[in-house]
Structure 1
Amino acid sequence: MKSPNISQTVMTIKSWLALIILAISTFTIVTTELAPVGLLTPMAKGLLVSESEIGMTVSLYAWVGAFSALLASIFLGNVAKKRLLLILTIILFCSNMMTALVDSYTILLIARVIGALAHGSFWAMIGATAVAIVPTKYIGIATSIVFGGVSAASVFGVPLSNYIGITLGWRDAFWFMSGLSIISFTGILILIPQITSNSTIGFDALKKVLKSGTLWKIYAATLLTITAHFAAFTYIEPWLQTQSNLHIELIPFILFAFGLAGLFGNFITGVVIDKHLKLTVSLSIILICVVFIFIGLNQNSFTQIAIFSLVTIWGLAISGIFVGFQTWVLKLSGDDVFPASSLYVSFFNIAIGLGATLGAWIVSNYTLSTLYISASIIIGLSILLVNLIPASANNPNIRMDKTYETN
């Protein structure tokens, strides 16, 4: 065993490769979570159920994922990180394999619940693992790389699953995700070092985190911003359909531009976030708020250039929020990094479900304009909380102690 020097400033090639394999892992788990969105029709036909029932598997996945992250924060904090990641990857593989083989809706729900149980724990564990394998000054860029897999999944994962589902069949799409799980397992086995930590666990640790006013501000801001984003993003395609100046065949390219902007935003965020964390998050929130206001107040059709610009700004800015709040939690939580990160994952997943539900209710009872104005108000409120959050911890030892065993 050897203890690394926390103040070290050099990143090894293996450390960079480890971050990349963790990014591939986040790509896999998010693609698994969202794949049914692009496979609603073929899955519904194949299992003889409605599209709304297939859609419910996404909502169920998010809620169970939030619950599993909470369980992980209580019981799994001191389990060896590498071993746990490998076990969770195997569970995710089994879930995708079961989904590819199901012949009834009931079995599909069981398979999705199994995957979601691994999902929440996996996501919480990835953040803590990224912190443990890089020097302190690289926490921000490490987070942007690892959680860049989320943006990549929205750009490539879901469309690719949809393409496989259309050309080969929806079951093959889940076999594809099973293959990604195997790649993640192999990469983790080879590249992730053995990590043991003194990270606090249990109900007492959870209570300690919940008593932190600073972390509560981050969680509340996350709940507001992610709820607003997903309420609006769930209905971005219907909004694009209302734009008379936009040809329908261009909609997929606009959505693709959103995803590419998100990837580029991840890169920009990774470069600036370690030095300008609070500014990055604040600016991202303001930009999205302005985009929502423009969409909500404009009753006429935008030009194609304006539509492209609004969607691109939105995609760039959301990366600052995704990476920013996660990085903030990792920087401020100290020895409580695992329960704090797990709670963040729970709030994030809860917000996904709330956003989709709120968006559906507003659109059913009011208009798309009302939805976007409401989303702008919700996300705008979060800036008040962000201004109250300290940019860094007062305690210079902001990270959990850790030791490695080299493979």
Structure 2
Amino acid sequence: MRAEDKDSPIRIWLAVIMLGIASFIMVTTEFAPIGLLSQIALDLGKDQAAVGLTMTLYAWIGAASGLLSAVLLQKFPRKPLLIVLMLVLSATNLAAMISHSFDGLLLARTVGAIVHGFFWAMAAAVASQIAPSHRMGVATAIVFGGISMATVVGVPLANLVGQASGWRTAFGSIGAVGLLTSVLMGVVLPKMQPGSPAGWRELGSVFRRPDLLGIYAVTAFMAAANFAAYTFIEPFLREVPNLPHVMIGALLFGFGGAGFLGNILTGLLIDRFMKSIITAGLVALCLALVGLGWFGPQLGTGRVLVLLVIWGAAIAALFAGLQTWILRAAGATVMSAAAIHSAVINSAIGFGAIFGARILTVSSVSGVMLAAGMVVIVPLLLILLQAAPRAAPKERGTF
């Protein structure tokens, strides 16, 4: 599924960057309720735990559609398909803006989740295949930089727009940016041939590979722990003593800024130090979440910010690192393996949101952070007890 013509290096990297921008819009759409949780709950007459569970609906539908994409979407040309997905996602944000009931919001996000799963199943794999093979890690990091930028700019900006003009304006703004992104994708993305339909047999062959299953297990526990905590980060920050509510957006900027820097460093180093980066990311994630949970908001603004920075850098490194590992290990089944990895991440987000909501019903937001930090011990043990691939670009990973 290489580009049809010989594009210049500048055109190729502009296309990869545009896929990163598209991923930013996708992830901002998914995570927008996190920065607007309290506002949505108050406006629609729901409690915070119920609104938090919209993350679960979004994630699980995205997981199912991502898995199906390997079978249903392979025969379609990649460029028009990606553009159409972005247009539909923009429409769902505008629909969320005008929703005046919780059911209306759920319907808009259901359609968005289907699009989200289709997009994420292809984006990183497409970027890795249009970029030079020895720069796969860099291309993957750029696309997954959309996650970091969504936390750097997307969620904090949604929070700030929500504080100033309401949560509906925040969703409308995301939709407008998505429409502009669709136009730019049409300009810079190269023409790409459709792939061969993977079929259920190829998906089954991926599930029978122990090395890939090991990576999926690490990803699942890591993502579930992260999003159990991240879903309720805004209520946690609201309990920091003497912190003005307008400063919540600034702290979220700190979290996302660290993620952006972590993503850049990962892109530079992942081709040489894959296992070390993933291991260090898990250790840092565990320590940050346990620290926030053990000491709680009473740590004060400065110490909370430090732990948020560690958390943000760690999770960015983990997402980019694990996705690169999958793409290297998959070999000829790269699209199917990437689709399953997307499904694993989205399923884990859903389970994480449910786990966090359950903990919140019996404990506090600090308890959610502590419990999530303890879960990170599981993937850390999996990494330490099993073998990981060396980072040679063409080497197939083992676990």
| Change in CA separation of 1:316 and 1:43 when aligned onto 2, cut-off 3 Å | closer
Matches within 5 A, 1:312-391: 312-366=309-363, 370-387=367-384, 388-391=386-389
Matches within 5 A, 1:96-245: 96-196=93-193, 198=195, 201-240=198-237
SS at match of 1:189: helix
CA distance in 1, matches of 2:290, 2:33: 30
SS at match of 2:331: coil
Contact 1:65–1:117 (8 Å) recurs in 2:
yes
CA distance in 1, matches of 2:146, 2:124: 12
Deviation at 1:204, TM superposition (A): 0.6
Bigger CA radius of gyration: 1
CA distance in 1, matches of 2:87, 2:109: 14
Contact 1:128–1:338 (8 Å) recurs in 2:
yes
Which of the two has greater helix per residue? 2
- Larger CA deviation: 180-189 vs 158-167: 158-167
Matches within 5 A, 1:292-307: 292-298=289-295, 301-302=298-299, 305-307=302-304
Matches within 5 A, 1:279-298: 279-298=276-295
Task: Give the structure 1 partner of residue 35 of structure 2.
Answer: 38
Contact 2:28–2:150 (8 Å) recurs in 1:
yes
| Change in CA separation of 1:107 and 1:398 when aligned onto 2, cut-off 3 Å | same
Contact 1:243–1:301 (8 Å) recurs in 2:
yes
Task: Give the structure 2 partner of residue 87 of structure 1.
Answer: 84
Could you list the per-position Cα deviations for residues 329-388 of structure 1 after superposition, in whole angstroms to 9, with x for gaps in the alignment? 111112211111111111111111111211222232245565444333321221232242
| Change in CA separation of 1:389 and 1:205 when aligned onto 2, cut-off 3 Å | farther
SS at match of 2:299: coil
Deviation at 1:44, TM superposition (A): 5.4
CA distance in 2, matches of 1:73, 1:2: 17
Could you list the per-position Cα deviations for residues 170-202 of structure 1 after superposition, in whole angstroms to 9, with x for gaps in the alignment? 443333222222222122212111222655511
| Change in CA separation of 1:93 and 1:232 when aligned onto 2, cut-off 3 Å | closer
Task: Give the structure 1 partner of residue 58 of structure 2.
Answer: 61
| Change in CA separation of 1:375 and 1:2 when aligned onto 2, cut-off 3 Å | closer
- Larger CA deviation: 131-140 vs 253-262: 253-262
5+ residue gaps, structure 2, are none
Q: Match for 1:32: what amino acid?
A: T
Task: Give the structure 2 partner of residue 403 of structure 1.
Answer: none
CA distance in 2, matches of 1:77, 1:368: 42
Task: Give the structure 1 partner of residue 262 of structure 2.
Answer: 265
Check if 1:275 corresponds to 2:287.
no
TM-score by length of 1: 0.86
Contact 1:132–1:195 (8 Å) recurs in 2:
no
CA distance in 2, matches of 1:211, 1:18: 34
Deviation at 1:292, TM superposition (A): 3.1
Deviation at 1:61, TM superposition (A): 1.4
Contact 2:61–2:113 (8 Å) recurs in 1:
yes
| Change in CA separation of 1:2 and 1:41 when aligned onto 2, cut-off 3 Å | closer
- Number of aligned positions between the proteins: 394
Contact 1:11–1:135 (8 Å) recurs in 2:
no
SS at match of 1:336: helix
Check if 1:24 corresponds to 2:26.
no
Deviation at 1:275, TM superposition (A): 1.2
Task: Give the structure 2 partner of residue 253 of structure 1.
Answer: 250
Check if 1:50 corresponds to 2:59.
no
Could you list the per-position Cα deviations for residues 21-75 of structure 1 after superposition, in whole angstroms to 9, with x for gaps in the alignment? 11110111111122233344555566x5425554443332111111110111222
Contact 2:328–2:395 (8 Å) recurs in 1:
no
Could you list the per-position Cα deviations for residues 51-104 of structure 1 after superposition, in whole angstroms to 9, with x for gaps in the alignment? 555444333211111111011122222322112212212221222232233344
Contact 1:76–1:201 (8 Å) recurs in 2:
no
| Change in CA separation of 1:197 and 1:31 when aligned onto 2, cut-off 3 Å | same
Contact 1:68–1:121 (8 Å) recurs in 2:
yes
Could you list the per-position Cα deviations for residues 284-314 of structure 1 after superposition, in whole angstroms to 9, with x for gaps in the alignment? 1111222234344458943654333222111
CA distance in 2, matches of 1:349, 1:226: 8
- Larger CA deviation: 209-218 vs 182-191: 182-191
5+ residue gaps, structure 1, are 400-407
SS at match of 2:119: helix
CA distance in 1, matches of 2:55, 2:349: 10
CA distance in 2, matches of 1:292, 1:121: 31
Contact 1:217–1:389 (8 Å) recurs in 2:
no
Contact 2:35–2:158 (8 Å) recurs in 1:
yes
